[in-house]
Amino acid sequence: MPGGSPQTLRPFLWRAEQLYPDTEVVSRTHEGITRYDYGTYADRVAQLANALDDAGYGDGERLGTFCWNHHRHFETYFGIPGMGAQLHTINPLLPDKHVQYIVENAEDETIFVDQSFLPKLEGAVADDPDPFDSVERFVVMGESVPETDLDAVAYDSFIDGHSTTYDWPELEEERPAGLCYTSGTTGRPKGVEYTQQMLWSHTMALQTPQGLPLAEDDVVMPVVPMFHVNAWGLPFSATAGGAKHVYPGPQPEPADLAHLIESEGVTITAGVPTVWLGLMDYVKENDVDLSTLDRLVVGGSAAPEAMIRFFDDHGVELVHAWGMTETAPVGAVSHLKHDLEDADYETQLEKRSKQGLIVPGLEFEVVDDEGEAVPHDGEAYGELLIRGPWVTTEYFARPEATEQEFENGYLKTGDVVSVDEDGYIKIVDRSKDVIKSGGEWISSQELENELMAHESVSEAAVIGVPHERWQERPLALVVPAEDADTDSLAGELREHVLDSYPKWWVPDSVVTIDEVPKTATGKFDKQTLREEYGDKSMVEGRVPEDAAPE
């Protein structure tokens, strides 16, 4: 290695501790607001590393987290990968069977769990204990452990009494540091592993002016969950820049976010459009001071133009970004190019509504069905292929998925995009059929299978329809079985789906149709269905009343 030290996360924390020991980390938890500085943070991270060391970890073991955004979760971000184990952030909002599959596939040895998610995890274990065979202990985030059937210890007592210094090992760049599962469009979730070097290079790219740079005078509030691709990498880059961190904790409501922005002087925050739609409504009805807020980062789904205008009117720059679990995640950010700075507002808005310019360090291609590159004219579209130091080239323990989704070192994103003359990438559609509701995936295929398992259903197709608040919601198009009672069908299907899935997976509407159109190869023709039913207004009026969610 010609360079003096490997590309790992450790120097980011080292720098913050050296230069900004008094800068704060603020966190909203079930215990109220916790506030300490980088100095204390670094001490607790060292205590955690010592505790993990004592538990026998440090050689690539996967340790899961099942948590919201707060200071203890942040401690695992540097503590686990820093001591040589692997941080596996598990999405607690997934259906139990996905959680079971993910834990089994990752073979997690410890799971750190929030008190509020403890019943959910207990339920998943009780339903099927086998996938949790590898788990040696559950660590409950807090000072104490509520009554539980699980063999659990409180986080604070787990780290308590351990030294506040730790002899951090010099890890090789290839050492897996993180793991995050993305919902499969077909079948099972797929794990994406992040090495030390991937997280290092992603952090450095974020810190460029073309990324989402964070400085010591920034106050960063990641609303995007820490179980979604490391909260888009912000906990790492905020530390690298020496910024103040604000973590909004369990299930933050718009009022909580508004309060934290005001009381902590948040300068930059990030999340999916649903979060900001909620905040917009709140700001319209309440007197909220957004004067400290410079930037609001939106990604995960397209930022509606009206949202960009709204925040512009309130003096907050909305920054649109694109990324995937597979790209760690940030791949493009919609900054205005220098020569567009004098353009009229509408032209600027058109550019800013696109998903952005590729960040430095990555390369992309856009290819049509024959694999030919399409022109960058803002019209032609094709699939986005992307590669770079922090873009994965494989799926964890899934060779068959790896074969289908990578080509010549490029990740096949499944996103259909156009690129304009200025290089702005715009997502036209997803070649996948998954439904994205409030930043979470709903697999249309799984829902179809579930619906078709009901005796009154002969065929069912599920598509996403636009929704003002949640971006997309599932609409079920159902061919009833011959003797089905169509009056009660929607209500029965709702109960049926609820038996196996969380409430937010239940289709908002069930529309009865005579036949599901098919493609030449006999597959459900979702394109035709989308054309006919994809516009929400066309569905309204056809929806039986009892199909609407409570």
Q: Which residues are catalytic?
A: 182, 326, 436, 441
191 binds ligand AMP (CB under 6 A): no
Distance of alpha carbon 547 from the chain centroid:
29
Angle at the Cα of 236 (from 70 to 141), degrees rounded to 5? 25
Asked whether position 505 contacts ligand AMP by CB under 6 A, the answer is: no
Torsion angle, CA of 535/537/541/544, rounded to 10 degrees? Answer: 50
Question: Does residue number 329 form part of the binding site for ligand AMP (CB under 6 A)?
Answer: yes
Least Å distance between CB 262 and ligand AMP? 27
Choose the stretch contacting ligand AMP; rule: CB under 6 A; options: 274-282, 319-327, 387-395, 472-480.
Answer: 319-327
Does residue 390 interact with ligand AMP by CB under 6 A?
Answer: no
**Residues 40 to 79 in contact with ligand AMP, rule: CB under 6 A:** none
Please report which helix (H) or strand (E) contains residue 313, including its range.
helix 305-313
What's 9's DSSP letter?
S
Give, as ranges, the residues between 195 and 234 that touch ligand AMP (CB under 6 A): 229
Query: Length of the chain in residues, anyone?
Result: 550
Q: Please say whether the beta carbons of 43 and 126 come within 8 A.
A: no
* Segment near ligand AMP (CB under 6 A); pick from 248-256, 283-291, 321-329, 364-372: 321-329
- Note whether 185 binds ligand AMP by CB under 6 A: no
Q: How many residues bind ligand AMP (CB under 6 A)?
A: 17
DSSP E strand boundaries for 337-469: 357-358, 363-367, 381-387, 406-407, 410-419, 425-430, 435-437, 440-442, 457-467
Structure tokens of 196?
């030390």
Looking at the Cβ atoms of 430 and 542, the one nearer to ligand AMP is: 430
Minimum separation from the CB atom of position 432 to ligand AMP (A): 7
Nearest residue (CB) to ligand AMP, 139 versus 308: 308
Q: How far is the CB of 204 from ligand AMP (least distance, A)?
A: 21
- The correct pick among 112, 200, 322, 470 for binding ligand AMP (CB under 6 A) is 322
Q: Does 413 bind ligand AMP (CB under 6 A)?
A: yes
Q: Is 415 in the site for ligand AMP (CB under 6 A)?
A: yes
Site string for ligand AMP, 289-308 (x = CB under 6 A): ----------xxxx------
Site for ligand AMP in 237-276 (CB under 6 A): none
Nearest partner of 30 among 156, 115, 104, judged by Cα: 115
Whichever of 358 and 547 has its CB closer to ligand AMP, that residue is 358
Per rule CB under 6 A, is residue 353 in the interface with ligand AMP?
A: no
> In angstroms, what is the minimal distance from the CB of 513 to ligand AMP?
27
- For residue 432, give the nearest of 420, 418, 415, 452 by alpha carbon: 415
CB 252 within 8 A of CB 222: no
Token reading at 109: 């040895």
Partners of 426 in beta bridges: 418
In the bound complex, what is the minimum distance in angstroms from residue 179's beta carbon to ligand AMP? 14
Asked if 430 is part of the footprint of ligand AMP (rule: CB under 6 A), the reply reads yes
**Nearer Cβ to ligand AMP, position 182 or 203?**
182
Q: Which position has the token pair 């060779």?
A: 399
Contacts of 33 (CB under 8 A, 6+ apart): 26, 27
Quick check: 355 binds ligand AMP (CB under 6 A)?
Answer: yes
**Residue closer to ligand AMP (CB basis): 93 or 125:** 93
- What whole-number distance in Å separates Cα of residue 284 and Cα of residue 89? 35
Q: Which residue is nearest to ligand AMP (CB)?
A: 325
* Token code pair at residue 533: 């039913």
Shortest distance, position 301 Cβ to ligand AMP, whole Å: 5
Query: 76 or 325: whose CB is closer to ligand AMP?
Result: 325
Stretch that binds ligand AMP, among 201-209, 288-296, 315-323, 448-456 (CB under 6 A): 315-323
The verdict on 324 binding ligand AMP (CB under 6 A) reads: yes
Question: What's the rounded Cα separation, in Å, for the pair 354 and 321?
Answer: 9
427 counts as binding ligand AMP under rule CB under 6 A:
yes
Give the integer Cα–Cα distance in Å for 440 and 437: 5
Report phi then psi at 196, rounded to 5.
Answer: -55, -45
DSSP states along 395-418: -BT-HHHHHHHEETTEEEEEEEEE
Query: From CA 222, how far away is CA 213, in angstroms rounded?
Result: 14
At 454 the three-state DSSP class reads: coil
What minimum distance in Å lies between the beta carbon of 273 and ligand AMP? 8
Site residues, ligand AMP (CB under 6 A): 182, 229, 299-302, 320, 322-325, 329, 355, 413, 415, 427, 430
